[in-house]
């Protein structure tokens, strides 16, 4: 019973936060906030032109492309050549995930309640087999 209550507690914010359907014409920023609340930190960085998406997979793919572009344009200072190469490879992987419609989620986690809550607060939208 405790597990069911915990699962419902964790799932409620995720379900409740999906207020803008992918097919709704709205500014890109509004759609990206449906994917990850961190877009609030980049207020004004996204076009105000209304867009719509076929489905959530397409909307999440746009998010991944935008994140990849941002990370590519903002390389941290002080990385070694090896770290830079690894970073570029990971950015290529991220672009590939977006192209293929791969959605990254949390799963098979041994996180405790506080850690899981922090993860969902940071933007996790999908999970499976949590608290194994």
17: CB partners within 8 A, 6+ apart: 34
Look at residue 123 in the predicted model and tell me its pLDDT: 64
Question: Is residue 5 very low, low, confident or very high in pLDDT (cuts 50, 70, 90)?
Answer: very low
pLDDT tens profile 9-34: 444 454 445 589 999 999 999 999 99
Position 62 pLDDT exceeds 90: yes
Look at residue 125 in the predicted model and tell me its pLDDT: 66
Look at residue 8 in the predicted model and tell me its pLDDT: 41
Q: Is the pTM of this model over 0.75?
A: no
Look at residue 12 in the predicted model and tell me its pLDDT: 47
Position 61 pLDDT exceeds 80: yes
Position 70 pLDDT exceeds 50: yes
Long-range pairs for 7-14: beta carbons < 8 A, 24 or more residues apart: 7/130, 10/116, 10/117, 10/120, 10/127, 10/130, 13/120, 14/120, 14/125, 14/126
Q: Average pLDDT, whole number, for the chain? A: 81
How confident is the model over 105-122, as a mean pLDDT?
80
Position 50 pLDDT exceeds 60: yes
Look at residue 69 in the predicted model and tell me its pLDDT: 92
Look at residue 55 in the predicted model and tell me its pLDDT: 93
């Amino acid at each position: 019973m405790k597990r069911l209550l915990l699962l419902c507690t964790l799932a409620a914010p995720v379900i409740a936060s999906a207020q803008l359907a992918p097919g709704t014409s709205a500014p890109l920023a509004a759609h990206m906030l449906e994917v990850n609340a961190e877009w609030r930190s980049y207020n004004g960085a996204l076009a105000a032109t209304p867009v719509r998406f076929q489905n959530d997979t397409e909307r999440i793919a746009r998010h991944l492309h935008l994140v990849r572009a941002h990370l590519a344009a903002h390389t941290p200072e002080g990385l070694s050549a090896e770290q830079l190469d690894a970073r570029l490879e990971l950015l290529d992987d991220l672009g590939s995930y977006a192209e293929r419609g791969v959605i990254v989620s949390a799963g098979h986690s041994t996180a405790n309640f506080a850690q899981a809550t922090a993860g969902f607060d940071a933007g996790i939208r999908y999970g499976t087999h949590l608290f194994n």
